[in-house]
Amino acid sequence: MLASCRPRAFAARLDSRAESTSLARYLLRAYLAGLPFGDRYRDVGELLLGELFANAVQHSGAPDDCLIEVRFAVANGRLRVEVHDAGAGRPSVRSATPCDEDGRGLFLVNELAERWGCCPRAGGIGKFVWALIAPSLLTV
């Protein structure tokens, strides 16, 4: 029997609350722990997923009872993380001043991801923000 060449993917729906950000990062850690060389994506993957999830909670404008979906997959040597929400707003990188307490999340995504973007969700409700993460050559 031939082994499947399709990447293993993971998806989960979480409450749209700030407290769910740590659960999203935990799920990514658990997903990566089951993959050969998954640790090479862990640090940057957790950071960027946390930023994207926190942005969805804070800025989506969706009702509080809507869920946020996270998806992960490693394919072609890259980790792809997606955060789906029911909000209509599209994210954009902004410049934060040294005194700003927030506003650096998408700057980090822009700097650390190989590529990232935002797409409408199927069915026309909401959007998803995705990031492609290259493996780190150094692991601790």
Report the CATH number at residue 64: 3.30.565.10
- Across the range 76-101, mean pLDDT stands at 82
Position 9 in a domain: no
Tens-place pLDDT, residues 10-66: 999 999 999 999 999 999 999 999 998 999 999 999 999 999 999 999 888 777 788
Do residues 81 and 71 touch, judged by C-beta distance below 8 A? Answer: yes
Work out the angle at residue 132's Cα, subtended by the Cα atoms of residues 131 and 134, and round it to the nearest 5 degrees.
Answer: 140
Q: Per the confidence metrics, is the pTM higher than 0.95? A: no
Position 97 in a domain: yes
Spatial CA neighbour of 128 closest among 73, 74, 41, 68: 68
When divided into structural domains, the chain yields a total of 1
Position 124 in a domain: yes
Q: Which domain holds residue 84?
A: 14-133
Position 5 in a domain: no
Position 91 in a domain: yes
Do residues 57 and 19 touch, judged by C-beta distance below 8 A? Answer: no
